[in-house]
Structure 1
Amino acid sequence: MGRLDPRTIRTDPGEARDQIAQWHELLNDVPFATAHGWDVREAIRAHVLASPYPILPVDVARKWFAHRRDRLARHTDPTPAADPDDVTTWRAELLGARHAVAAGTAAPSTHRQLTGGGPHPDVEARLRAIGSCIPPAVRAELARYRPARAAREAAVAAGQPDALSVACPWCHAAKGQPCRSRRVGLDGHARGNAPRETPHPSRVDLAAAALPRPTAA
């Protein structure tokens, strides 16, 4: 500390001894360095570079407490290996893991993230069997709550073009969005914006024109 900031150096042996005793008492709970991102030398160096004032013990302590709070905020308690019926052992293991994270001797245990792997083999086999993640009986029950989607699925099943695969030139509905019933007022502005159960005819014609034509053999 004295090497980086000569203003903190005490030349008198008594003052130097008192200074060391004061710092030792105030920073007794602050580790010198941990294996997970904390080094008191980096904290002192960052203060000397950022602040025009001489460093004090409280400056180092605040940086350590902020580092510890950040670690605990990112920590999610893993399930202890102890028997949950043994409350004393279970609680001791849980608190031990928290204290280890707070002291910097263990890394925070975060939630496991979703991976990009495929579905479970059982789910994949079921999807191949029914053809969809929604069973036909459930899809039929949902049809009355999703009339636009039901009409779209019925048109595709009947071999008709999927109108929602293109944007509507009449109401300007985007791809995948149902058409809107828009009326033009006397002032020339659109009135009403209710979704339609069936797409506009011009949209159906546009989707039919976008279908690939069969090539002659």
Structure 2
Amino acid sequence: MERREVAAVLAYIGRLDSRTIRTDPGEARDQLAQWHELLHDVPFATDHGWDVRDAIRAHVLDTPYSILPVDVARKWRMYRRDRLDRHTDPTPTADPDDPAAWRAELLGTRQAVAIGTAAPSTHRQLTSGGPHLGVEDRLRAIGSCVPPTISTALAPYRPARAAREAAVAAGQPDALSVRCQWCHAREGEPCRSRRVGPDGRARGNAPRPTPHPTRLDLAAAELTRQGAA
């Protein structure tokens, strides 16, 4: 900020907190010099969310202490740090074979984001449109995100999942679609073998490759209810 902008900031603070007002010309001059020394690299406002008046108003509302120039400078540093943390360097348009131009454009973009004249650039992969045009056609042809050959190869390493898929393919009820009343396994989780010790506490909690019979009965009843509906 320039000196005239700092003077405007001090006048704004004086309207919100009269304790900061200096009536003596010498004290007012020293106050202006101090604030300008600490805030000369802090902008008055930017196009992307920073306004020094918002920082001042938040301080007056949040604390009973008079605002100091370091309070404003710290809020500006926090603003810059947050913007840079959300920024992902876009690929420069400069020639990659010209390292100086490449680096200059990269640093220039970061500086523009830091001072608030440009918005942070996020990951394009996360902000682009939907999936590739060929993905939906391929999913319709395969029928699943995981091809059948891959599911067959993974079956020995996930027996509960394999048994569930086989049951659904055969038209049988999906036991994992309901909660087990025996071991209290939630929907989508395999049943667990729980041994009860002499003190009445569970001694084992290993996952079972097959669901409990009561869970199968509940799943069958739910499937029948859905069919009747």
Q: TM-score range by the shorter chain?
A: 0.7 to 0.9
Amino acid aligned to 2:154: L
For structure 1, list consecutive stretches of 5 or more residues without a partner in the other structure: none
The alignment of Structure 1 onto Structure 2 pairs a total of residues equal to 215
3-state DSSP of counterpart to 2:107: helix
| Aligned match for 2:121, one of 86, 106, 109 | 109
Q: 1:182 to 1:40 in 2, by over 3 A?
A: closer
**Residue 191 of structure 1: CA displacement?**
3.0
Which one is further off, 183-192 or 101-110?
183-192
**Residue 198 of structure 1: CA displacement?**
1.7
Does 2:138 match 1:126? yes
Question: Partner residue of 2:79?
Answer: 67
Question: Which structure has greater helix proportion?
Answer: 2
The normalised TM-score by structure 2 is: 0.77
Over alpha carbons, which structure has the higher Rg? 1
Alpha-carbon deviations, 1:53-92, whole Å to 9, x = none?
Answer: 5544333333322322222222222221112221111100
Question: Partner residue of 1:197?
Answer: 209
Question: Partner residue of 2:153?
Answer: 141
Question: Partner residue of 1:210?
Answer: 222
Question: Partner residue of 2:69?
Answer: 57
| Aligned match for 1:152, one of 164, 177, 183 | 164
Does 2:100 match 1:88? yes
**Residue 174 of structure 1: CA displacement?**
2.3
Provide the C-alpha distance between the structure 2 equivalents of 1:135 and 1:93, rounded to a whole number of angstroms. 44
Question: Partner residue of 1:33?
Answer: 45
- RMSD (Å), alpha carbons: 3.0
The normalised TM-score by structure 1 is: 0.80
Question: Partner residue of 1:175?
Answer: 187
3-state DSSP of counterpart to 2:41: coil
Identity %: 78
Alpha-carbon deviations, 1:82-111, whole Å to 9, x = none?
Answer: 122211111000111111122222222233
Provide the C-alpha distance between the structure 2 equivalents of 1:188 and 1:53, rounded to a whole number of angstroms. 60
Q: 1:115 to 1:211 in 2, by over 3 A?
A: farther
Q: 1:13 to 1:156 in 2, by over 3 A?
A: closer
**Residue 24 of structure 1: CA displacement?**
3.2
